[in-house]
A and B are shown apart, each in its own frame.
Chain A
Amino acid sequence: MTFLLLMPIVVPLAAAALAAVFGWRRLTAWVTAFAAFCTLVSGAVLAVGGEPGAQFTAGQLLRADALSITMLIVIGTVGSLATWASIGYIDAEVAHRHTDQKGADLYGVLVPIFLAMMSLAVLANNIGVMWAAIEATTVATAFLVGHRRTRTALEATWKYVVICSVGIALAFLGTVLLYFASIHAGAPSDVALDIDVLLTHATRLDPGVTRLAAGLLLLGYGAKAGLVPFHTWLADAHSQAPAPVSALMSGVLLSVAFSALLRVKSVIDLALGTGFLRTGLLIVGLLTVLIAASLLVIQTDFKRMLAYSSMENMGLIAVAAAAGTRLALAAILLHVLAHGIGKALVFLASGQLQAAHGSTAIADITGVLARSRLVAVAFAVGLAVLLGLPPFAMFASELSIFRALADAQLGWALGAALLLMAIAFAALVRNGSRMLLGPPAPGSPAIAVPGSIASALVAGVVLSVALGMTAGPLAELFNDAANLLGGSR
């Protein structure tokens, strides 16, 4: 079992070392994709191998439960699609002189480090180590966001590093306060930040200090998950990063940060009751959906549009977490997986649109369906997933979230969320159809799709449809995680 827990961290790090020695070439790119696939395999084997409620440990440091396994599957799935697509994407970037061999080499090293740190964040037993891993993703992705070295890329990188580092520093202060409360609740100091120890001492944590810690943890991890008030980095970074990295950040990183919040929430709810974080999550979640919906309406840039759609979904997840029932928590996990795959599809497709047009303005893109059926279908399927249309999985997860909100006597929050989501829906449909349908403008460039990206797009469409048909054995895993996170009823 130790081997399975180490694999998602060590294999990507080995891939990074290989890329550091040999630079960006076919072999190292393949090894990185293989490393991402190993993460998926590890998650899948752990999911199949465990009884309900099983937990695996490797020493004192690593620990996998149903939530970690779910997140490993998300990282592995989206990671495999994105790293496989990177092969064609980076080759095209080098060919078009948007980057040079040095930039490509750096990309080859940083992407696997980014993957390894996300795996460490979900597998760490100590919430201090979990914090360090999440902050390490900021450092690893900084130069990925600034990959093109243009003025706008530089601006986005600076904002990203500063805002995320400050936000996440608040989460560390919250962690320190939780450590202080845990020691005073009688936990031995060397293991006082371990999740299992925190959970067993949770009811004895000092309420005053825990309340302070809870507020800081919500703001801090919320910053990294794209929730207000530290959300301003998100659209800039997502719009400037290379498409596969946008897919990883939007589809995986945001939800990894949110899973950290779910982890500490299970401790805080035991200490303070569910009311405290529920209020916080409702305010933050609804404000996030509000801002995302208003900016979606006026959006003229398609990569920023996709970024705000991510914010909208993270806001909805925060509202669902406020409901906190078993149904809501299981729905969040299905939502996260479906959203990850859907976002990978739209970002990878939009990367090809950007490469063909040299622009990310919605107005510049016309008649994609008539020019490249593959890109248009992939974009449309991704968009349909994100819009929560049946038969895709987010239809089921959103319905479950709505039901959970109604069950938790949060009808007013449900009403507000529904209204805002309807606005966002209309904006996405309008912009999406403007880009995809209709005749192409005269002189529109051809949309080239390298083989690796084409296969990633096809795989993403197949996965989206399959997940929409049935969650299969995953449903049990999601329920298991919801129980573990202390879902009521």
Chain B
Amino acid sequence: MSQATHTAILNLAAGAFLLTAVLIVWHLGLRAIVRLLACQGVALAAIPLTEGIYESDAALVMVGAVVLVLRAVALPGLLGRAVGTEEAERRESTPLVNTTSSLLITAVLTVLAYAVTRPIIALDPSPATRAAPAAFAVILIAVFVMVSRRRAVSQAVGFMMLDNGIAATAFLITSGVPLIVELGVSLDVLFAVLVMGLLTGHMRLAFGGTDLDQLRELRD
């Protein structure tokens, strides 16, 4: 792989990664956003796979394969099962911010991500690091999704996006954290999403739905 191809693929992956985040903000169907999350997992896995092949680093390729299985198949699969079967449960209930404003906010957050990451790029202006603002933008957008959506599954999707964004940042700026850390983090994310999925099921039993507005008994 030539350096130009390597850079092009990295930029493409980072672009697709950011695009899926914007589409998740745009869509209100829960099935659709879980599918988009799977696409985002593929774009994320493309980063370590490209880096690994370019630098002939077998360990990194292995990590990329694990990321692909975990974030493009296993975790979206878990969330997909938590969506539920009833028609009313499959769409976002009225979000706090309407779609047009949400997309505008997404644009502002992306610009903000470029501003925040300037010290990172100044320290290491390599092609991969230059793509890091896209990953940072996904982190900010994920936080926005988590505070503006009202369904348990959408919040879980937001959490996964946040984690994807952090993983993408790690792959872009440092070719991934040490293996033992990667292992621990992946296990944690897997269990956290598993717990969120189980809680969604319990919530449906106890409240008859997964609208988070019902969670308002505990307050001061």
A binds B: yes
**A-contacting residues, B193-218, CB 8 Å:** 195-196, 199, 202-203, 206-207, 212, 215-218
Q: A149-B202, A166-B159 are in contact. Are A133 and B174 (CB under 8 A)?
A: no
For the complex formed, measure the closest distance between the CB of A157 and the CB atoms of chain B, giving whole angstroms: 6
B181's partner among A126, A136, A206 (CB-CB below 8 A) is A126
**In contact, B192 and A129 (Cβ under 8 angstroms):** no
Which residues from B are CB-within-8-Å of A149?
202, 206
Given contacts A155-B215, A166-B143, A298-B220, contact A139 B123 (CB under 8 A): no
A318 to B174, alpha carbons, bound, how many Å? 31
- Rounded to whole Å, the gap between the CB of B209 and the closest CB of chain A is 12
Q: Which of B119, B124, B178, B212 lies in contact with A128, CB distance below 8 A?
A: B178
Contact with B along A257-275 (1 / 0, CB 8 A): 0000000000000000000
Question: A101 in the interface, Cβ–Cβ < 8 Å?
Answer: no
Which A-chain residue is minimally distant from B203 (CB atoms)?
A154
Pick the contact of B192: A138, A175, A189 (CB < 8 A). Answer: A138
CB-CB contacts below 8 Å: B151-168 with A: 152, 155, 159, 162-163, 166
Query: A209 with B159: in contact, given A132-B187, A158-B203, A176-B170 (CB under 8 Å)?
Result: no
Chain B binding surface SS class? helix
Q: Do B185 and A209 touch (CB < 8 A)? A: no
B169 and A176 contacting across the interface, CB-CB below 8 Å: yes
CA distance A152 to B143 in the complex (A): 25
Q: Which residues of A contact B207 (CB under 8 A)?
A: 151, 154
Tell me the smallest distance from the CB of A100 to a CB of chain B, in Å: 15
Q: Which residue of B lies closest to A295 (CB)?
A: B220
CA distance A9 to B118 in the complex (A): 41
Which A residues, 119 to 167, have Cβ-Cβ distances below 8 Å to chain B?
126, 128-129, 131-133, 135-136, 138-139, 142-143, 146, 149-152, 154-159, 161-162, 165-166
Q: In the complex the two chains form, what is the Cα distance from A189 to B139 in whole Å? A: 25
Binds B, one of A178-186, A381-389, A424-432, A467-475: A178-186
In the assembled complex, B191 has its CB within 8 A of some CB on chain A = yes
Q: Which parts of B120-166 form the interface with A (CB within 8 Å)?
A: 120, 122-124, 139, 143, 146, 152, 155, 159, 162-163, 166
Nearest neighbor of A235 in chain B, beta-carbon distance? B220
Q: In angstroms, how far is the closest chain B Cβ from the Cβ of A129?
A: 6
With a CB–CB cut-off of 8 A, which chain B residues contact A157?
Answer: 199
- Cβ < 8 Å to B, chain A residues 181-228: 181, 183-184, 189-193, 206, 208-209, 211-212
Cβ-defined partner of A135 (8 Å) among B118, B139, B192, B196? B192
Interface set of B (CB-CB < 8 Å, partner A): 116, 118-120, 122-124, 139, 143, 146, 152, 155, 159, 162-163, 166, 169-170, 173-174, 177-178, 180-181, 184-185, 187-188, 191-192, 195-196, 199, 202-203, 206-207, 212, 215-218, 220
